[in-house]
Amino acid sequence: MIVQNPLFGGMSGIVYGLLGYLWIRGKYDPSYGIRLNPQIVMFMLGWFVLCLTGLVGHVANVVHGAGLFMGAAWGYLASKHWLRVFRR
């Protein structure tokens, strides 16, 4: 089952959202001034995959995935990289 019960608490979804935003925004908009170290990104993505396996207990995987996806999408839109792609 993907979602079992609502007994989760914490800020990890927000952390993954911020990770996605800063990662993609820094990648596509160098003038933004903030770029994440690739080792941090790989560690967080590795932790995400490890949590998906269930080896670390009950984890709100859906929230992590949704936060990462929404943060990355927002970072991409904020970078305005998509405008440069369509202008070509």
Question: How far is residue 84's CA from residue 49's CA, in Å, rounded to a whole number?
Answer: 32
Residue 10 CA to residue 63 CA, distance in Å, equals: 10
58 is catalytic: no
Neighbours of 70 (CB within 10 A): 15
Say how far apart CA 51 and CA 62 lie, in whole Å: 11
* 64 belongs to the catalytic site: yes
Q: Retrieve residue 74's tokens.
A: 């927002």
- Which position among 12, 31, 58, 81 bears the catalytic label? 12
**Selected catalytic residue, list 31, 58, 64, 81:** 64
Angstrom distance (rounded) from CA 16 to CA 59: 13
Catalytic residue annotation: 12, 64
